[in-house]
């Protein structure tokens, strides 16, 4: 393997070149160039990777941060934090529901659909939370009124279908 000084002709972003991850060298291998900064960055948190490799930030197109879907210290997307909270809530409910025999494949398919679209209907999130609560109550042996649960769920499902 041949070691190459890549500082003069570096193709990486300015932020990455000026970061602690820049080694100033690359290795020529059978499969191509392997940059030292890429190897160093592979162990970094995703937030750092997203920022240090952002071409928009590098080109001073900072207005792109207003609609960016990636986790980053410069993300100015107002919906991003709300979406992250929703995803966290979905993951919590999903892990709890898996304990009650709801197949992971089915639940993941529904949750992933909403994650990809970037938002979860608040009523759908309420329905998931309510279902989880009822499952917990039922499994703990406490009495609960299934007819009230059915009535609330029918109302939530109706609202979800109207929002589509």
End-to-end alpha carbon distance in the chain = 57
pLDDT level of residue 9 (50, 70, 90 thresholds): confident
How high is the pLDDT of residue 149? Answer: 66
For residue range 11-38, what is the model confidence (pLDDT) as tens digits?
Answer: 899 999 999 999 999 998 888 888 999 8
If you write DSSP's letter for every residue of 31-80 in order, what string do you get?
Answer: TEEEEHHHHHHTTS-HHHHHHHT-HHHHTT-GGGGGT--S--TT---HHH
DSSP 88: H
Question: Going by C-beta distance under 8 Å and a sequence separation of 6 or more, which residues neighbour residue 88?
Answer: none
| Domain locations in the chain as residue ranges | 2-66, 79-163
Percent of the chain with pLDDT over 70: 62
How high is the pLDDT of residue 104? Answer: 53
Tokens, residue 103: 């197949």
Compute the distance between CA of residue 8 and CA of residue 90 in angstroms, rounded to an integer.
47
H-helix or E-strand spanning residue 130: helix 122-140
pLDDT level of residue 72 (50, 70, 90 thresholds): confident
Its pTM stands at 0.50
């Amino acid at each position: 393997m041949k070691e190459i000084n890549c500082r003069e002709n570096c193709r990486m972003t300015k932020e990455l070149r000026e970061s602690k991850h820049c080694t100033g060298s690359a290795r020529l291998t059978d499969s191509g160039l392997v940059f030292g900064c890429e190897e160093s960055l592979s162990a970094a948190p995703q937030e750092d990777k997203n920022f240090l490799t952002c071409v928009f930030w590098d080109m001073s197109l900072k207005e792109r941060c207003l609609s960016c879907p990636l986790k980053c210290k410069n993300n100015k997307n107002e919906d991003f934090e709300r979406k992250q909270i929703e995803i966290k809530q979905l993951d919590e409910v999903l892990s709890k529901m898996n304990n009650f025999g709801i197949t992971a494949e089915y639940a993941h398919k529904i949750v992933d659909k909403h994650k990809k679209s970037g938002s979860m209907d608040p009523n759908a999130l309420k329905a998931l939370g309510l279902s989880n609560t009822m499952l917990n109550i039922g499994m703990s042996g406490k009495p609960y009124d299934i007819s009230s649960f059915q009535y609330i769920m029918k109302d939530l499902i109706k609202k979800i279908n109207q929002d589509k």
